[in-house]
Structure 1
Amino acid sequence: MKVEVDDSRCYAVGNCARHAPTVFDQNDDDGRVVLLAPDPPEREHAQVREAALRCPAAVIVLHENKSAHEE
């Protein structure tokens, strides 16, 4: 999984940091999303997906890697 964020559209709600705190944080100045881990380990994927679903501004973009058996 690869993660991208568009912090220019972020509402600074903090759902991302709440659901996946090792992958997302919030900027101290304006509260916008900060991406800590653009390539999170597999054990974090479920939390990252949840964070993306809970983002009210939809600023989190996930690029899922296909495994060999999915191709």
Structure 2
Amino acid sequence: MALIITDECINCDVCEPECPNSAISQGEEIYVIDPKKCTECVGHYDIPQCVEVCPVDCIILNPDVVENKEQLRAKYESLIAKK
């Protein structure tokens, strides 16, 4: 699954620079995660870095984007191939 930021986000700015895929950006009111770029840090780290640094625990699994580890790995490989 990709991750999603809930409306509990306090716009603290710590998650965006931690994302190795540049999937996090400032939305209209809170930060948002692009599910096409989010690999839950598969390929980069063992755990999602945004979740690690979030002080309010507002980053959760996106129930609308269900992916297993193999799919996340394939997305990661596709993203690095475009670089």
Q: Same fold (TM over 0.5)?
A: yes
Structure that is richer in helix per residue: 1
RMSD: 3.1
Distance 2:18 2:46 in 1: 6
Distance 1:19 1:47 in 2: 14
TM-score where L is the length of structure 2:
0.54
Q: Which amino acid aligns with 1:22?
A: S
Gaps of 5+ in 2: 71-83
TM-score where L is the length of structure 1:
0.60
| Over 3 Å off, 4+ runs | 62-67
Aligned identity (percent) is 17
Q: How does 1:38-53 map to 2 (within 5 A)?
A: 39-40=38-39, 42-44=42-44, 46=45, 49-53=48-52
Q: CA deviation at 1:66?
A: 5.6
In the alignment, structure 1 residue 26 sits paired with structure 2 residue 18:
no
Distance 1:42 1:66 in 2: 8
Are the counterparts in 2 of residues 3 and 60 from structure 1 also a CA contact under 8 Å? no
Q: How does 1:1-71 map to 2 (within 5 A)?
A: 2-20=1-19, 22-27=22-27, 29-30=28-29, 32-37=30-35, 39-40=38-39, 42-44=42-44, 46=45, 49-62=48-61, 65=68
Q: How many residues align?
A: 63
